[in-house]
Chain A
Amino acid sequence: DTEVTQTPKHLVMGMTNKKSLKCEQHMGHRAMYWYKQKAKKPPELMFVYSYEKLSINESVPSRFSPECPNSSLLNLHLHALQPEDSALYLCASSRITSNEQFFGPGTRLTVL
């Protein structure tokens, strides 16, 4: 299995809602990433988990809260988002942090 899966594919939420994005991989990778990508822009790194520990938080606002419950799962909890947070949220994994990254198909988030 060389796939990273993400759910949901699309999400529309209001500014007062709480929702979660989920990411799963079964490749035995020990590094997992969250990226944010706006239209026609490159992916921007948000968080890096290495061996289930948060290694990097790229000064992301606290309304985004990552969680790595085990080595296969990565969640992104969302609360009180702003319309400018609307974007494609990509999850990726790699064997270790310096290896090729496998990206999931992303969750397209719209904040109303």
Chain B
Amino acid sequence: GQQVMQIPQYQHVQEGEDFTTYCNSSTTLSNIQWYKQRPGGHPVFLIQLVKSGEVKKQKRLTFQFGEAKKNSSLHITATQTTDVGTYFCAGLVSGTYKYIFGTGTRLKVLA
């Protein structure tokens, strides 16, 4: 079946270090969204990428969508303790209304 995998599963960083999570889909995606879920919370939308090769920045966060529209990445520069949480990508399967969430990367930031 269709799968969206993320690596790494966990990442512990010192505050101020950079962090990257990678998202890989087994199928072509119409778009990809990124969400952050704090412990005990619900997913909160960060960004949506639609075009092949698209790059978007939000302050310390940089998002990329691969040329083949099957992979994506999220890079955080100079992490802060407020960045703690699980980051999920969610891909919209082409030709459907179906979003598949990636397996998630849990980020811990040590002060």
- On A, residues with C-beta under 8 Å from B are 31, 33, 40-45, 48, 50, 55-56, 58, 90, 92, 97-106
Contact = CB atoms under 8 A, between A and B. Distances in A.
Which secondary structure dominates chain B's binding surface? strand
B101 A101 contact: no
Interface of B: 30-31, 33, 35, 41-45, 48, 88, 90, 92, 96-104, 106
Contact of B42 (A31, A41, A100, A103): A103
Contacts of B31: 98
Given A98-B30, A98-B92, A104 B42 contact: yes
Contacts of B106: 40
A100 B100 contact: no
B98 A99 contact: no
